A and B are shown apart, each in its own frame.
Chain A
Amino acid sequence: MAKKVFMLSEVVKVEQLEKYFPVQKGFLEQLFTRELRYVKAVDGITFSIRSREIFTLAGESGCGKTTTGRVIVRLLEPTSGKISFKGRDITKVKGEKLRLLRRKMQIIFQDPYASLNPRMKTVDAVGHPLEIHGLAKGEEKKEKVLEVLDKVGLTPPEQFINLHPHQLSGGQRQRVALARSIILKPEFIVADEPVSMIDVSLRTTIIDLMLSFRKELGLTYLFITHDLAVAKYISDRIAIMYLGKIIEMGDKESLFVNPMHPYTQALLSAIPVPNPERKRKRIELSGEVPSAIDIPTGCRFHPRCPYRTDKCSKEEPLLIELEKNHFVACHLIK
């Protein structure tokens, strides 16, 4: 009984999650080698998201953040590991149970031009989830769609319900996608780079809408982004991913005030600041992000790390809590 109460505040928990993609072998390779190689997109990550929290997975392209998001909502099947939703193990849930689960977990995609069916009018695109789950149709569906379009700021909603995506701007399309994601009144939303393809002046609108839904609808978010400045604006907690693993994780304040991992420090120093008078000191990193097929031994960041030691190439560091609510995976930090 006590355990259940403790778990209630955790909406999503991910334990040792792994997602490997087998590498397609060329014809000759297939004949001569038995060895299978994998792209280790997500290589063992653990984190939990608390109720009404905005948890951000941040990192550069190829770090595995997008894959993690897709695996959590079961658009991709995990290779191994455990996913829990409100205390229930949902890793292998299938069929009708999975469909019911989908009412509670939704996802918003990055590209507003690709995430809407070009042949569906707005009322159908947004209202279809209601039909799928047998919640409403016809007039009732239309009413609910009008309601939710109003919520996302597409007013007057009547003007938008019969439009097709090509008649809407990028910002409007993303709002439609947002409307579609909240119409089932979910509890958890994965937002995969929701504003990176939208004009800068419109980003804040979408972000503020997401924040207001947290209050109004009690939503919990997994926010995925490569833009740490946006992450700083919206998140409660942030985890930095590199080559499939979380290398630093903590409250927004502690992470930005005291970034401990060399990669995090380099990342933060590389972000442009809209101030011509600030001369930043950029931390140099040698080389480039290696392929996720051939992950370096030991600490996967060591080939590029300015502080690497012998130990770093041999032993993989564990994610340890070094400060209150601030976890780092690095041998050199005590």
Chain B
Amino acid sequence: MTKEKIKRSILARLIPGLTSLTKRGPSGWMVILGIIIVSVLVIMTVISPWITPHDPTKIRVGDIREPLSLQFPMGTNHLGQDMLSRIICGGSIMLQVSALSVLVCFAIGVPIGLFSSYVGGFFDRACSLVIDAIYAFPGLVIAIAISAMLGPGVVNMALSIAVVYVPSYFRIVRSQVLSIKELTYVEAARATGAKWHTILLRYVFPNVIPSIVIVATINFADAVLTAAGLTFIGLGITKDIPDWGWDLTDGWNYLSSGAWWIITFPGLMIILLALGFTLIGEGLSELLNPKLQR
């Protein structure tokens, strides 16, 4: 398939798909709202170099801890940096970390889940045991432990969050595969002589995708919050890159002196991003579940 064909088919399915969402009631609108929020934030982050009014890392563009004004609509922090510019750029790390962690999770959790549950038997039980052990730990604790081991940095943050989430993908995939592999159309595929990997790839996996998408979006939301948490504890990035999580941590110190804007705006942005993903996930879950329950 040429690149042209791929582009055309994705777009061809996207636009009617999106418009059909409007007809699906409140869940459809949840998804649309979520998509809008996430898209706006992503676009904002992408074009940030061109739209920031001031250089977000430049110190002393204004006075220290200046409250909201026309020149600095979100005030300045204790280094005199423009908060608005920092907010516009600050999503970059979060988005990178959560995207990377979702990707890693997907790449590890899904294949293991697929293979383990399809094969069954001892292998499946062994895998489930290990995965359940990881699952039993509170997510943040694991993330902290691994992040402390690996050190700071975007990739390391992503990896520690990924480890927390692999069990979720595994479990969802496994429960879906266990029920799907008993279905008649899988039996029919076996009866025509299909090999196990063909069955997994073309019969089981495509029917598991809806549930994975839901987990992925919730995963995104949670990754954003966990990344913020890690940064808050000091296990995130160390370089002076504008980051909502960092500003959140930073702003905590100046709350008592009345500079509420330093912590509030980053906090709001983090909530907004997490909310966007959650809306997509919850909305999709409501939309897809009635069909699944048939």
A–B direct contact (CB < 8 Å): yes
Measured in the bound complex, the distance between the Cα atoms of B256 and A187 in whole Å is 84
- Interface-central residue, B190, B193, B202, B203, by most chain A CB under 10 Å: B193
A119, B184: Cβ atoms closer than 8 Å: no
B194, A117: Cβ atoms closer than 8 Å: no
- Cβ contacts under 8 Å, A53 to chain B: none
Instruction: Kindly report which residue of chain B lies nearest to residue A101, judged by CB atoms.
Output: B193
- Interface-central residue, B185, B190, B206, by most chain A CB under 10 Å: B185
What are the interface flags for A102-144 relative to B under an 8 Å C-beta threshold, 1 for contact and 0 otherwise? 1100110101001111111000000011001100000000000
B191, A75: Cβ atoms closer than 8 Å: yes
A117, B189: Cβ atoms closer than 8 Å: yes
Instruction: Kindly report which residue of chain A lies nearest to residue B184, judged by CB atoms.
Output: A114
A128, B185: Cβ atoms closer than 8 Å: no
A–B pairs, 30, beta carbons within 8 Å: A73-B191, A98-B193, A99-B195, A100-B193, A102-B191, A103-B193, A106-B191, A106-B192, A107-B188, A109-B184, A109-B187, A109-B188, A111-B184, A114-B183, A115-B185, A115-B187, A116-B185, A116-B188, A117-B185, A117-B203, A117-B206, A118-B207, A120-B202, A128-B192, A129-B193, A132-B194, A132-B195, A132-B198, A177-B188, A180-B188
Question: How many residues from B make CB contacts under 8 Å with A?
Answer: 17
Measured in the bound complex, the distance between the Cα atoms of B206 and A120 in whole Å is 9
- Interface-central residue, A107, A114, A117, A177, by most chain B CB under 10 Å: A117
- Interface-central residue, A99, A107, A115, by most chain B CB under 10 Å: A115
- Cβ contacts under 8 Å, A75 to chain B: 187, 190-191
Kindly identify, within residues 162 to 218 of chain B, every residue whose CB is under 8 Å from any CB belonging to chain A: 183-185, 187-195, 198, 202-203, 206-207
- Cβ contacts under 8 Å, A132 to chain B: 192-195, 198
Task: Give chain B's interface residues, CB within 8 Å of chain A.
Answer: 183-185, 187-195, 198, 202-203, 206-207
**With A109-B187, A128-B202, A132-B198 as given contacts, are A117 and B207 in contact (CB-CB < 8 Å)?**
yes
B194, A114: Cβ atoms closer than 8 Å: no
Measured in the bound complex, the distance between the Cα atoms of B189 and A106 in whole Å is 11
Measured in the bound complex, the distance between the Cα atoms of B207 and A106 in whole Å is 24
A184 interface residue (CB < 8 Å to B):
yes
B188, A184: Cβ atoms closer than 8 Å: no
A128, B183: Cβ atoms closer than 8 Å: no
- Cβ contacts under 8 Å, B184 to chain A: 109, 111, 114-115
B192, A114: Cβ atoms closer than 8 Å: no
Measured in the bound complex, the distance between the Cα atoms of B194 and A109 in whole Å is 17
- Interface-central residue, A111, A118, A177, by most chain B CB under 10 Å: A118
Give 7 nearest A-B pairs by CB, closest first. Answer: A102-B193, A114-B184, A119-B206, A129-B192, A99-B193, A115-B184, A117-B185
B294 CB, nearest partner CB in chain A, Å: 9
What are the interface flags for A156-200 relative to B under an 8 Å C-beta threshold, 1 for contact and 0 otherwise? 000000000000000000000100100010000000000000000
**With A117-B203, A132-B198 as given contacts, are A107 and B183 in contact (CB-CB < 8 Å)?**
no
Instruction: Kindly report which residue of chain A lies nearest to residue B187, judged by CB atoms.
Output: A75
Measured in the bound complex, the distance between the Cα atoms of B194 and A180 in whole Å is 13
A128, B194: Cβ atoms closer than 8 Å: yes
Of the four ranges (under 10, 10 to 19, 20 to 34, 35 or more), the interface on chain A belongs to 20 to 34
What are the interface flags for A67-94 relative to B under an 8 Å C-beta threshold, 1 for contact and 0 otherwise? 0000001010000000000000000000
Measured in the bound complex, the distance between the Cα atoms of B192 and A107 in whole Å is 9
Kindly identify, within residues 181 to 222 of chain A, every residue whose CB is under 8 Å from any CB belonging to chain B: 184
Measured in the bound complex, the distance between the Cα atoms of B187 and A73 in whole Å is 11
A110 CB, nearest partner CB in chain B, Å: 8
- Cβ contacts under 8 Å, B195 to chain A: 99, 132
Measured in the bound complex, the distance between the Cα atoms of B183 and A73 in whole Å is 17
- Cβ contacts under 8 Å, A102 to chain B: 191-193
Measured in the bound complex, the distance between the Cα atoms of B106 and A332 in whole Å is 67
- 14 more A-B residue pairs beyond the given contacts A75-B191, A111-B184, A116-B185, with a C-beta to C-beta distance below 8 A: A75-B187, A99-B193, A106-B191, A115-B184, A115-B188, A117-B189, A128-B189, A128-B194, A128-B202, A129-B192, A132-B192, A132-B193, A180-B192, A184-B192
Measured in the bound complex, the distance between the Cα atoms of B191 and A64 in whole Å is 19
B244 CB, nearest partner CB in chain A, Å: 39
- Cβ contacts under 8 Å, B185 to chain A: 114-118
Measured in the bound complex, the distance between the Cα atoms of B16 and A6 in whole Å is 62
Instruction: Kindly report which residue of chain A lies nearest to residue B203, judged by CB atoms.
Output: A117
Measured in the bound complex, the distance between the Cα atoms of B192 and A75 in whole Å is 10
Measured in the bound complex, the distance between the Cα atoms of B131 and A134 in whole Å is 38
Measured in the bound complex, the distance between the Cα atoms of B98 and A325 in whole Å is 73
Measured in the bound complex, the distance between the Cα atoms of B187 and A111 in whole Å is 12
- Interface-central residue, B183, B184, B198, B203, by most chain A CB under 10 Å: B184
Measured in the bound complex, the distance between the Cα atoms of B195 and A129 in whole Å is 11
A239 CB, nearest partner CB in chain B, Å: 22
- Cβ contacts under 8 Å, A119 to chain B: 206-207
- Cβ contacts under 8 Å, B206 to chain A: 117, 119-120
B269 CB, nearest partner CB in chain A, Å: 37
Measured in the bound complex, the distance between the Cα atoms of B189 and A116 in whole Å is 9
Measured in the bound complex, the distance between the Cα atoms of B193 and A129 in whole Å is 7
Measured in the bound complex, the distance between the Cα atoms of B202 and A155 in whole Å is 27
- Cβ contacts under 8 Å, A180 to chain B: 188, 192
Instruction: Kindly report which residue of chain A lies nearest to residue B192, judged by CB atoms.
Output: A129
Measured in the bound complex, the distance between the Cα atoms of B195 and A116 in whole Å is 17
Instruction: Kindly report which residue of chain B lies nearest to residue A177, judged by CB atoms.
Output: B188
- Cβ contacts under 8 Å, A115 to chain B: 184-185, 187-188
Measured in the bound complex, the distance between the Cα atoms of B195 and A102 in whole Å is 12
A107, B194: Cβ atoms closer than 8 Å: no
- Interface-central residue, A114, A119, A129, by most chain B CB under 10 Å: A119
- Cβ contacts under 8 Å, A116 to chain B: 185, 188
- Cβ contacts under 8 Å, B207 to chain A: 117-119
A258 CB, nearest partner CB in chain B, Å: 37
Measured in the bound complex, the distance between the Cα atoms of B185 and A119 in whole Å is 11
